[in-house]
Amino acid sequence: MARLNLLEETRFEKLPVTVYSDEYVASVKVAQRIAELIRYKQGRNEKAVLGLATGATPVKVYSELVRLHREEGLSFRNVITFNLDEYYPMQPTAVQSYVTFMNENLFDHIDINKNNVHIPDGTLPLERIHDYCLDYERKIESVGGLDLQLLGIGRTGHIGFNEPGSAPNSGTRLVTLDDLTRRDASRDFGGKENVPRKAITMGIGTIFKAREIILMAWSGKKAPIIKKAVEGEISGDVPATYLQLSDNVEFVLDQDAASELTRFDTPWLVKDCVWDDTQIKKAVIWLSETVKKPILKLTEEDYNNHGMAQLITEKGTAYEINIDIFNKLQSTITGWPGGKPNADDRRRPERAEPARKRVVIFSPHPDDDVISMGGTFIRLVDQGHDVHVAYQTSGNTAVWDDDVLRYMEFAIDFNQSIGQDTDHLENIYEDMRGFLENKQPNQLDTQEIRDVKGFIRKSEAIAGARYAGLDDDHIHFMALPFYETGKTVKKPVTDIDVELTIELLQKVKPHQVFAAGDFADPHGTHIVCFNIVLAALSRLRETEEWAKDCWLWMYRGAWHEFATHEIEMAVPLSPQEVERKRNAIFKHQSQKDYPVFPGDDAREFWVRAEERNRETAKNYDDLGLANYEAMEAFVKWRF
């Protein structure tokens, strides 16, 4: 019976999928399977031939293999490896090369014979690549073929660098990279313009010959493409769908990457559900959106025709369920994000008392506060709450180099205008100009340049917070140490980061904390900063009474938005408030027009914010609730 239930749950899935709680558990399991293969081959005095992938996905697999080598004696002397791909052109000593990646993450830490390591050569002259690729195929065949091929998946659906349009029988070859693939790689190269346009990759036909294929994917960012690869029709538009034709493939996912598969996203379509409040709310909103009716107009026929007959059987009539969910959604809407004084707050998102709350808004970068919750920020101040804003990082990596020269030129001119000697400033300026003229992609800036970039972000943040109505002593710059590397790759979080956060919280003793829960941030800063806030509050709750009564609200907007069923507080904005929010965002001039790290969304940050806020309001309107100009959305964290 259990097997039948599983088949029913996975009937939309066209290939085997294994889901683990998180990427750490999944990576350990994959590493153990690789280790078992290696040991099995060792016992037969045979070579284990591995196809290896690069990128963030397999890093923890390689880390576990290194641990198994160091602590459990796993030897790689019998292992031969072939890497999937390499950028072209690419020097093997470059930071971005896959030779560097594999050495740093695996090969330099194990006992593999380097003669058994094969990575496509990104230094070849163009006329030699065709023959080189044929030879790469012959080398794989000469050692008996790939025993196991590890894969990641790109957001275009590429496996290796087999971009949309790749043929299912393709071999190793030179390919042109998709624009989205290059955008995703831009942070490693200091800008998309520095990402190579081509790559050498094993073909889909080459991958198919492996006796075992494991495709891994972590995080919600991969969820949409995983759904297409697993449940979609086979298509050259999504090369990973070709894996549906293999009998030897398995997708290994964490819960976030699997979240859009039917059995997790809309489980009522494939099985009987446990209908708790959260599931009911999600399902009814989904049904309303699917049939394009307001919630109060949904009928029993709508429920029955869309896999939700069990719900009305267990929980009452469609009319009763509709009313209940409508009221719950209605109660999320409030014009009083700090709580409405002297009001019945049993159905309101925030408490009525105290009427004047102490509030800390944590902003990972110096503009996340106004981009993601600028309207609520301004409203909290307007309604008389004691609001503080804390900028957790300097954001100094996200400023264009020419802005540094512009600000230095201003400083020199200003000093001259008031009769100050500018020789020292001019010498620093010339050093900066010389450095920037010869700067390599992703090269670490000098300390002076990093300082100026930080000062630019700081002055903009002050202007934005002042516009929102704050006094200067309520504006805090934390410069958390984990961020201050000058590089895009940051240091690990330490106790110092948490202690600095505890110190600020102890000083303010807030009733409300707002923190960025926008974990789709491609740079990872948001989730790191959120975890620091969470760690600080968790510690304080052990000893401080005020902390036990401090509510933590998560906001989004810079990179993503909460789904409607997740929202617990929706703050409506009038057209005038939307304009005030826009003006606050405009204070961040270094991030306007085209920021250094725009992610995969080409819209300016203020446009993203406005359109997402309007979309949230429209979603509420389509469900049959009041029609507002825009809405900012929040979810409460439960300790």
383 in Cβ contact with 350 (< 8 Å): no
Question: Ramachandran region of residue 254, left (φ > 0), alpha (ψ -120 to 50) or beta?
Answer: beta
The tally of CA atoms less than 13 A away on the side-chain side of residue 30 is 35
Distance, CA of 328 to CA of 454 (rounded, Å): 44
Q: Which two tokens stand for residue 151?
A: 């894969």
Rounded to whole angstroms, the Cα distance separating 283 from 302 reads 12
DSSP state, residue 468: H
Apex CA 90: angle with CA 89 and CA 93, to 5°?
160
Strand partners, 476: 390
Radius of gyration from C-alpha coordinates of the chain: 27
| Beta-strand pair 512-516/358-363 | parallel
**What percentage of the chain's residues is helix, strand, coil (to nearest 5)?**
50, 15, 40
Whole-number Å distance between alpha carbons of 34 and 464: 52
Catalytic residues: 163
Q: Which of 86, 233, 234, 121 is nearest to 167 (CA)?
A: 234
Length of the chain (residues): 639
What six digits make up the tokens of 193?
Answer: 């313009």
- One DSSP character per residue, 445-456 reads PPHHHHHHHHHH
Euclidean distance between CA atoms 461 and 467, whole angstroms = 10
Cis peptide before 89 (omega within 30 of 0): yes
CA distance 29 to 32: 5
Q: Helical H runs in 587-629?
A: 605-622
Pairing status of strand 630-637 against strand 569-573: antiparallel
Judge whether 360 and 391 are in contact, CB under 8 Å. Answer: no
Report the C-alpha gap between 608 and 632 in whole angstroms: 12
Distance in angstroms (rounded) separating the CA atoms of residues 605 and 441? 24
C-beta neighbour count of 304 within 10 angstroms: 15
537: β partners: none
Judge whether 180 and 174 are in contact, CB under 8 Å.
Answer: no
